[in-house]
């Protein structure tokens, strides 16, 4: 993600704000993250915008993130598939859960 921002910042060409795909090819993208909305922090907001942009362009997105509650189960909404996985709370930042290696 940081690499994309650096390349965009260094480019002299304006970044198009067009939700139309560059081609008719649809992608299936898996995003693995520790935080995602409704969490409120910079990473969650950035990943949320990335996923929203991919969905607007017709791509299928699989989102893998730590469960927010113990009862949360995998679910789909259109082209978005959410896969909550087991996670543990950070000792000094209880609002954030981190995923564990599989």
What is the pLDDT, as a whole number, of residue 7? 38
Domain membership of residue 66 as a residue range? 27-99
Strands (E), 1-102: 28-32, 60-66, 75-77, 80-85, 87-90, 93-99
Establish if 57 belongs to a structural domain: yes
pTM, to two decimals: 0.71
The verdict on residue 43 lying in a domain is yes
User: Does residue 36 lie in a domain region?
Assistant: yes
The reply to whether 6 falls in a domain is: no
pLDDT at 98 over 90: no
Q: Among the residues of 1-102, which ranges form H helices? A: 2-10, 42-56
* Amino acid 69: pLDDT: 81
Please report, for the domain that includes residue 32, its CATH number: 3.40.50.2000
Q: Closest Cα partner for 49 from 25, 33, 70, 71?
A: 33
pLDDT at 9: 45
For the chain, what is the domain count?
1
For position 61, what pLDDT does the model report? 97
Residue 13 lies inside a defined structural domain of this protein: no
Domain contains 5: no
| Residue 11, in any domain of the structure | no
Q: What is the pLDDT of residues 56-94, one digit of tens each?
A: 999 999 999 998 888 889 999 999 999 999 888 888 877
- Residue range 4-51, pLDDT digits in tens: 433 344 555 666 666 665 667 889 999 999 888 888 889 999 999 999
């Amino acid at each position: 993600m940081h690499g994309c921002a650096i390349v965009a910042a260094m480019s002299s060409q304006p970044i198009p704000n067009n939700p139309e795909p560059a081609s008719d090819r649809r992608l299936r993208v898996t995003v693995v993250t520790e935080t995602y909305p409704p969490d409120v922090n910079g990473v969650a907001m950035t990943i949320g915008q990335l996923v929203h942009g991919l969905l607007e362009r017709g791509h299928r997105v699989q989102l893998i993130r730590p469960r927010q509650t113990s009862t949360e189960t995998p679910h789909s909404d259109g082209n978005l598939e959410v896969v909550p996985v087991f996670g543990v709370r950070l000792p000094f930042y209880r609002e954030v859960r981190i995923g564990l290696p599989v």
